[in-house]
């Protein structure tokens, strides 16, 4: 125990000095550990900031900034071009004559010129009767059979004989008219212009008599005639004058 002197009025205390209590070894180690951990944490933060990879030049865009479609696009539906409707064969041109009876084709003078021959006698339409109807050439006959026509036959009233005239008025379009004209030329018919149309004729005479053909093409009409030992002069032109009376 220290010795103490007390003095008043300039009293001096003399005694043993009290030194501070040194820290315990346990507290010292704890402080060192905290300091080391703090340093390591600081180093880790620096490394994360410096080394962590960033996407280069990647713009940021919020949902509000993204464009949105103003409407839902309609589905694309393929459309097919409708095929053009074929025009009926033999469609007559506007103003083309359209007789419905053979009597409309002939003048009274031509009817008288046929004498005893009859127009469309009943036997010509009898079942199984083999009467020539239309041209004999296959190509010309195909055009005749594919189109509307009016058939007129002058022959003997009693039955088949070697005498008669067969005429078909056929309604054709422009392409068919050209096909008929070309075929008549190929067959060697004598063709020439007449009465604002095309006339083509051929005739042969032998021991059996005289037979031939006459064709006339005008304004969507084809007048096809075959004759054997009959046929008054001017027969085809008489039909033309009755179909186009104002010319």
Q: Per CATH, which fold does 102-243 belong to?
A: Protein Transport Mog1p; Chain A (3.40.1000)
Residues of the chain with pLDDT under 70: 1-94, 129-132
Asked whether 104 and 242 are in contact (CB, 8 A), the reply is: yes
Which residues make Cβ contacts (< 8 Å) with residue 75, sequence separation at least 6?
Answer: none
pTM of the model: 0.63
**Domain ranges for the chain:** 102-243
Contact criterion met (CB below 8 Å) for 149 and 99: no
Report pLDDT for 42: 56
| Amino acid 161: pLDDT | 85
- Contacts with 11 (C-beta within 8 Å, 6 or more apart), sequence order: none
Environment class of residue 111 by beta-carbon count within 10 Å: exposed (0-12), middle (13-18) or buried (19+)? middle
Q: How many Å separate Cα 59 from the centre of its chain?
A: 51
């Amino acid at each position: 125990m220290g010795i103490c002197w007390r003095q008043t009025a300039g009293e001096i205390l003399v005694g043993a000095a009290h030194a501070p209590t040194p820290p315990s070894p346990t507290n010292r180690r704890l402080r060192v550990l905290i300091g080391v951990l703090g340093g390591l944490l600081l180093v880790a933060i620096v490394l994360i900031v410096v080394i962590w990879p960033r996407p280069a030049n990647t713009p940021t865009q919020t949902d509000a900034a993204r464009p949105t479609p103003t409407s839902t696009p309609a589905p694309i539906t393929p459309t097919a071009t409708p095929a053009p409707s074929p025009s009926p064969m033999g469609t007559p041109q506007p103003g083309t004559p359209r007789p419905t009876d053979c009597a409309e084709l002939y003048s009274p003078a031509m009817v008288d010129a046929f004498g005893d021959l009859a127009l469309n006698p009943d036997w010509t339409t009898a079942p199984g009767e083999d009467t020539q109807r239309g041209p004999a050439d296959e190509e010309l006959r195909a055009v005749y059979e594919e189109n509307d026509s009016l058939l007129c036959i002058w022959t003997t009233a009693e039955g088949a004989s070697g005498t008669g005239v067969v005429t078909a008025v056929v309604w054709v379009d422009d392409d068919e008219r050209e096909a008929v004209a070309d075929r008549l030329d190929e067959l060697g018919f004598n063709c020439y212009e007449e009465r604002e149309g095309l006339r083509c004729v051929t005739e042969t005479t032998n021991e059996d008599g005289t037979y031939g053909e006459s064709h006339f093409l005008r304004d969507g009409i084809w007048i096809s005639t075959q004759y054997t030992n009959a046929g008054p002069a001017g027969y085809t032109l008489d039909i033309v004058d009755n179909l186009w009376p104002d010319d």
